[in-house]
Amino acid sequence: MRIFYYCYGSAHSSVVAAAIHLGKLPTRRVPTISEICSLPDFDRSSDQCLGMVYYKGKDEWGNPVYTVGLGSRPAVACRTLQSMIHLMGNPEDFRFYNALDCLKMMGKVGGAISRRYGFPTLGRPLAAWGVKRSYSLLVALVERVKREVRVASEEHSG
Amino acid sequence: MKGRIYLSEDRGACALIAAALDVFSHQEEVPGAREVVLWAMETGMDWSRTGWLWPAGEGSGGRSVFYCGVSSGSPIVERSLCYLMPMLGGSPLQWEFVRLQIRAPRIRSWQGLLRKYSRLSQLIREEMGH
C-alpha cells in the first residue's frame, strides 16, 4: 500500500506528517523548532516542484510513504489522481491524506513568507513554530493513518 | 493504453467540449450543443465532481480520450499524474496532456453548457488549431 501525505507545496505539513509516520519525529512530545528545521526536506521545495511526488521511506509494515504538493486546490487535484488510480489500478493500494488541514494559520503564513515570498530567514522558524502549535493535530492524523494501514495490512495478510 | 487527457481550469466545461470535438472528429460537421450534452451525460460526467477524469471514448489516432476540469493549477495536476503513472504500471510517455488556455468557470450545469456551447466550441477549435 502506498501512502501519500499531501499539502500545498510538499514543504511543511506533509513533510512533518511523513516524518512522524516514519519515526523521524516523536509522537509523545512536541519537537523543538531546531528538530523540525533540521529535517532535510522541511521548507525546501519551491513552486516549480508542485506536483512532484517525493518518496520518504518505508514504514514498519513496509508501505512506501510519499509527500506531494498539490497547490491551492489540493482536494481537487487529489481527486484527479484518485480517478486515474480507478482507471489503471486498485484504489485500495493508494491512500491519500490531507496534511494541510492540520496546519494552523501561523504555520501557513510562515510557509508562505519563506517559500512564496522568498524570506526563509524569517519564514522558516515561523513555519516551524506554526508546526509546533499544530503538532497534536499532525500526530492525530498519523495515528489515524496508521490505524487504517494496520487494519488494511491485517486484512491483506489474513 | 495510449491516452489523451484534456484539462481545463474550470468545472470541466472546456475540457468536455475539447474531448467531444476530438471524439466526433470523424464526422464532417461539428457536433451540436444538444448532441454534445447528451453524449457528455452518457460519459457519466457530474458537475459536482470537479477533478474527476471522465472517459470520453476513442479520439483521433485511436487514442483513448479523457477530460477533466481541475479548477486551477493544471500543470501541477499534469506533473503529479506523470509521477503516479509508473506506480500504476504505465508510462507518462503513453499519455498526451492537452492543457486548455480557455476556461469557463461560470459554467456549472448542463443548461449553462447549452447556452455557451456555440461560442466556446468555436474558441476551442481556434485554440486547437482547427
pLDDT tens, position by position, B70-108? 999 999 999 999 999 999 999 999 999 999 999 999 999
Q: What is the pLDDT of residue A22?
A: 98
Residue A101 pLDDT level (bands cut at 50, 70, 90): very high
Q: What is the pLDDT of residue A147?
A: 95
CA dist A130 and A152 (Å) reads 32
Domains of chain A: total: 1
Element (H, E) at A35: helix A33-37
Pick the more confident residue, A115 or B39.
Answer: B39
Has this prediction a pTM greater than 0.90? yes
Minimum-distance CB partner of B76 among A71, A89, A94: A71
Residue of chain A nearest B79, judged by CA positions: A51
Q: What is the pLDDT of residue A115?
A: 86
Residue B52, chain A, CB below 8 Å: the answer is: yes
Residue B29 pLDDT level (bands cut at 50, 70, 90): confident
Range(s) of the domain holding residue A18:
2-157
Minimum-distance CB partner of B88 among A73, A80, A88: A88
Beta bridge partners of A64: A58
What is the mean predicted confidence (pLDDT) over A27-50?
Answer: 94
Q: What is the pLDDT of residue B16?
A: 96
Residue B19, chain A, CB below 8 Å: the answer is: no
CA dist A63 and A114 (Å) reads 31
Closest approach of B70 to chain A, Cα-based (Å): 6
Residue numbers in A near B77 (CB within 8 A):
51, 70, 77, 80
The answer on pLDDT for A78 being more than 70 is yes
The answer on pLDDT for A154 being more than 80 is no
Residue B117 neighbours by CB distance under 10 Å:
22
The answer on pLDDT for B1 being more than 70 is no
What average pLDDT does chain A have? 93
Q: Looking at residue B49, what DSSP letter applies?
A: -
CA dist B66 and B57 (Å) reads 7
Residue numbers in A near B70 (CB within 8 A):
73, 76-77, 80
Q: What is the pLDDT of residue A158?
A: 62
Grid cell listed for A140: 492525530
The answer on pLDDT for B56 being more than 90 is yes
The answer on pLDDT for A59 being more than 90 is yes
